[in-house]
Amino acid sequence: MVATEPLPTHEPLAKRFWRYQAERFPILGYVPLIAAFTFASAAYSRLARRASGMPGTEGFIPWPLYLVGTLTSLTFFFMLRVLDEHKDADTDARYRPELPVPRGWISLAELRGIGGGTLAVVLALNAWLAPVLLIPCALAAAWAFLMTREFFVRDWLRAHMLAYLVTHMMIMPMIDGYTTGLDWLVAGGEPPAGLPWFLAVTARAGEGARGRGHLHEGVGAGARAAGVARPARGLGAAGVAGGALHRPGAHHRVGAGAGRAAVRGAGAGVPDHAPRSLGQGVRDRERAVGDRDLPDARRGPVPGAGAGSLT
């Protein structure tokens, strides 16, 4: 049984946040995954532009830029976690009182302060190194805001799980638009020819890399459908896609052909036991939990957790 006693509020915020992140956003596990995700994205763009004969594509992007890009990507995912805490606050308080926020480990205001402060730092770093990167940052932030508001059609989305899944997993290609932009956008050139295919990898991973995560009563599509916190499979798939460029002969087909190969290769990042289609994921959920004790707005089959699910 999960303990539900509140954490003493007199403990320092740093200690309470460390306990919070260990349960809800394990930083030590995320850093290597997101570093690999950022590296694969930037490397794909650099190699694709090199194969097209574009100038200034020798080596990798500057390491300070890569480090700031990794920190920014990590912050994106953390902010999605924070936004999800706000979006599901009422539901979590009712159905999941064992979670850190309902238990009083940390408050929503404290999470906003930590997230907002971190976001301000990374935006300042991006503005200093490459102001043009603020464009994809703004686009991702706008989409995340719409996700938090459930696109202002909450009831409709929760009654149409496929639409919920698609709209929420699109945040992954948007973040990948930033990480690939560390190369092509900063260089001031055109995006590489295979970029749409590469961005499709993250969406493909979001649909195909659903595992059998726990479904808690009262919590339906929400963040579970396609928000951001099981990134291991999704980010791993993107890494596989980037790695596809290093296969023999890949440099001669980096355009759309390599992109298609990368999309196919993303399946390598999915465990054998993961559902391979939306329908199978739904059927697995129905067999696992049925339809019991769920509020009307969330009743019915729920897709498995996406590559982006933070919960």
Per-residue pLDDT tens digits for 118-137: 999 999 999 999 999 999 99
**Highest mean pLDDT, choosing among 117-131, 145-159, 235-249:** 117-131
Predicted pLDDT of residue 251:
41
Q: Which two tokens stand for residue 155?
A: 């009831």
Identify the band that residue 10 occupies on the pLDDT scale cut at 50, 70 and 90. Answer: confident
Identify the band that residue 9 occupies on the pLDDT scale cut at 50, 70 and 90. Answer: low
Is pLDDT of 25 > 60?
A: yes
Identify the band that residue 296 occupies on the pLDDT scale cut at 50, 70 and 90. Answer: very low
| Section 72-82 average pLDDT | 96
Is pLDDT of 230 > 50?
A: no
The kind and range of the H/E element at 46 are helix 27-51
Helix (H, G, I), strand (E, B) or coil at 227: coil
Predicted pLDDT of residue 165:
86
Amino acid residing at 301? P
- Least confident range from 68-72, 178-182, 184-188, 274-278: namely 274-278
Better pLDDT: 42 or 258: 42
Identify the band that residue 74 occupies on the pLDDT scale cut at 50, 70 and 90. Answer: very high
Predicted pLDDT of residue 189:
77
Predicted pLDDT of residue 304:
31
| Section 81-105 average pLDDT | 92
Q: Give the DSSP letter of residue 126.
A: H
Is pLDDT of 6 > 90?
A: no
Predicted pLDDT of residue 52:
86
Q: Which two tokens stand for residue 216?
A: 């808690």
pLDDT tens for 255-283 read: 444 444 343 433 333 333 333 333 444 34
CB 237 within 8 A of CB 270: yes
Identify the band that residue 284 occupies on the pLDDT scale cut at 50, 70 and 90. Answer: very low
- Measured CA to CA, the distance from residue 67 to residue 71 in angstroms comes to 6
Long-range contacts of 91-99 (CB under 8 A, 24+ apart): 91/218, 91/219, 91/222, 92/219, 94/218, 95/216, 95/217, 95/218, 95/219, 96/216, 96/218, 96/219, 97/4, 98/2, 98/3, 98/4, 99/23, 99/24
Q: How far is CA 136 from the centre of its chain?
A: 15
Predicted pLDDT of residue 7:
53
Predicted pLDDT of residue 129:
96
Is pLDDT of 39 > 60?
A: yes
Q: What is the pTM of this model?
A: 0.70
The kind and range of the H/E element at 59 are none
The CA-based diameter of the chain, rounded to the nearest angstrom, is: 61
Identify the band that residue 18 occupies on the pLDDT scale cut at 50, 70 and 90. Answer: very high
